[in-house]
Amino acid sequence: AQSVTQLDSQVPVFEEAPVELRCNYSSSVSVYLFWYVQYPNQGLQLLLKYLSGSTLVKGINGFEAEFNKSQTSFHLRKPSVHISDTAEYFCARGSARQLTFGSGTQLTVLP
Amino acid sequence: GAGVSQSPRYKVAKRGQDVALRCDPISGHVSLFWYQQALGQGPEFLTYFQNEAQLDKSGLPSDRFFAERPEGSVSTLKIQRTQQEDSAVYLCASSWTGGEYEQYFGPGTRLTVT
């Protein structure tokens, strides 16, 4: 079965510092990967996606992620975080039929 | 344009009651999905529609859960004889078909069973 693992349940970081949120997926021939952000009491918003092509994917709000097939990873990075980035982040894999999510990483940006 | 909307946003039900949760997808979106998100967890897939056809219901946890999309637009998730373990946020998402796979999520309905 397809699976997604987010190793860090909580990541505290100071404002303007860089951050990396880790995501690993179970190996498969083809893989489609996503990062979503969820603010309190809201639905999920797509940050970025990898379907094929360039392994470095740029998304909204200054986030980017790198698809690494050999390490089966898709880590999310931002060079300088803001207070407003405080939210829950979910890595997911899937297809047109469904998404399989990781358990999420709570990013807390400290002043 | 308008995004995915869900109603009600909050629902409190007594154990044993039936509930109905509504999802209005983005106009023109062919695909519609329901997910269940327990507290502190990631969303888990429940079911998938393409137009009015329910193509995958493998994630529905029991036969108390039923979903429909009779006219290929609005969808309703119904839970019969609610149990405490049904307490969760129920998320609806919709998407175009065409290979981009991006799903647009609604704000969710928080169901609390007492």
Domain boundaries, chain A: 4-110
Query: Within chain A, which residues score under 50 in pLDDT?
Result: none
- For residue A27, what pLDDT is reported? 74
- For residue B1, what pLDDT is reported? 55
| Domain span holding position B61 | 5-113
Indicate yes or no: CB of A43 within 8 angstroms of CB of B55.
Answer: no
- For residue A30, what pLDDT is reported? 78
- For residue B97, what pLDDT is reported? 73
Enter the DSSP assignment of A85: G
Domain count within chain B: 1
Query: What is the topology classification, in CATH, of domain A4-110?
Result: Immunoglobulin-like (2.60.40)
CA B97 to chain centre: 18
Say which residues have a Cβ less than 8 Å from residue A24's Cβ, sequence separation at least 6: A4, A5, A7, A71, A72, A73, A74
Shortest CA gap A73–chain B (Å): 18
Which chain B residue's Cα is nearest to A42? B107
Look up the CATH number of the domain holding residue B39: 2.60.40.10
Indicate yes or no: CB of A43 within 8 angstroms of CB of B103.
Answer: no
Shortest CA gap A107–chain B (Å): 13
pLDDT, tens digit only, all 114 positions of chain B: 589 999 999 999 999 999 999 999 999 899 999 999 999 899 999 999 999 999 999 999 999 999 999 999 999 999 999 999 999 999 999 998 755 678 899 999 999 999
- For residue A76, what pLDDT is reported? 98
Choosing among B5, B29, B45, B110, which should be mutated to test the A contact, i.e. which has the most A CBs within 10 A? B45
Indicate yes or no: CB of A42 within 8 angstroms of CB of B97.
Answer: no
